[in-house]
Amino acid sequence: MPDFDTVTPLPPAAKGDFSAMFRALLLPHRIVMLAIALAGLSAMVLMMNWSWLPAYLPKLGEGLLMTLYMLVGSVVMGFLLALPLALAQVSGPAPLRWLALSFCTVIRGTPLLLQLWLFYFGLGSLFAQFPEIRGTWLWPYLRQPWPYGLIALTVSFAAYQGEVMRGAFAGVPNGELEAARAFGMSRFKVFHRVWFPRAVHRALPTLAGEIILQLKSTPLVATITVTDLYAVITRVRQATLLTYEPLLFLVAVYICLSAVLILALRWLENRVPTGH
């Protein structure tokens, strides 16, 4: 065996090293910022009126569940829908490509609020006119508002994510796909083993941002009478005549959700260090 002079690569940077993260928090300017945040928080807790909170906790929990349900449902289904939308644009025949492109452009070019209302008032009242639909097992669901919220959010996420995935698919270096083909992989295998995982990994950094945008869109479903967290808070405000406390509570919950999402996706991203 020839004696190679091996180049020792740098070890991958220790990611998710918590003691390092903790030490980074102890820099002087960060200590000052932490102190200010703590002071603000204790002022809020001590000086504001939170007596309503215990009584409304169950309702708030239900609202949070509905928000999460809207978010997770629309992200998962929207992502699944985004794949064919992206693939049609990258490698589909001309009519399909055109169709997918128009769909993404129209959805991304119109307000989500409008789509929500069109689905709810348009589709909803359309369905109600057909006895065939009213007779099926679906009707108990379709007469509630949340399916329309979920559909609108899903369609919107699919259109945005379809655009992201289109770029991600197109950006996978051709040589990697060619290598897969050269070794006898079928078209499906090339997709399943190389093209798709590579594209998802490339799209992950933007996915976190897209999901957070989606989280911030969910309160719109309150306009079609879905009782998400925002709708519950609105009711609290009407019932207690408090202005700031319920809103601050809402802010805190959304910030926590965003933070969890960011950390989870960063963890996912770091599991495969491709280095570029």
Partner 1 sequence: MDQPAIEIRDLHKSFGDLEVLKGVSLTAHPGDVVAVIGGSGSGKSTMLRCINMLELPSSGEIAIQGEAYGLHPARGGGLEPIDPKQVQRIRAQLGMVFQNFNLWPHRTVLGNVIEVPIQVLGVPRDKAIARARQVLARVGLAEKEDVYPSFMSGGQQQRCAIARVLAVDPLAMLFDEPTSALDPELVGEVLSVIRDLAQEKRTMILVTHEMAFARDVASHVIYLRDGLIEEQGPPEQIFGAPQSAHLRQFISSVV
Site residues, partner 1 (CB under 8 A): 1-2, 4-7, 9-10, 12, 173, 175-176, 178-187, 189, 193-194, 197-198, 201, 272-276
Q: How far is CA 165 from CA 72, 132, 170, in A?
A: 18, 38, 8
Cβ distance to partner 1 smaller for residue 30 or 181: 181
Report yes or no: 140 and 108 within 8 Å, Cβ to Cβ.
no
Query: CA nearest 232: which of 257, 255, 249?
Result: 249
Cβ distance to partner 1 smaller for residue 6 or 19: 6
Q: How far is the CB of 20 from partner 1 (least distance, A)?
A: 20
Q: How far is CA 160 from CA 90, 118, 147, 172, in A?
A: 15, 19, 20, 19
Instruction: List strand residue ranges (DSSP E) for the chain, in order.
Output: none
DSSP-derived letter for residue 186 is: -
| Token reading at 91 | 């490698």
**Helix H or strand E segment including 216:** helix 196-217
Cβ distance to partner 1 smaller for residue 159 or 207: 207
Q: How far is the CB of 207 from partner 1 (least distance, A)?
A: 16
Cβ distance to partner 1 smaller for residue 178 or 213: 178
Q: How far is the CB of 168 from partner 1 (least distance, A)?
A: 13
Cβ distance to partner 1 smaller for residue 2 or 135: 2
Q: How far is the CB of 224 from partner 1 (least distance, A)?
A: 41
Q: How far is the CB of 189 from partner 1 (least distance, A)?
A: 6
Which residues make Cβ contacts (< 8 Å) with residue 75, sequence separation at least 6?
A: 157, 211, 214
| Token reading at 44 | 């809020």
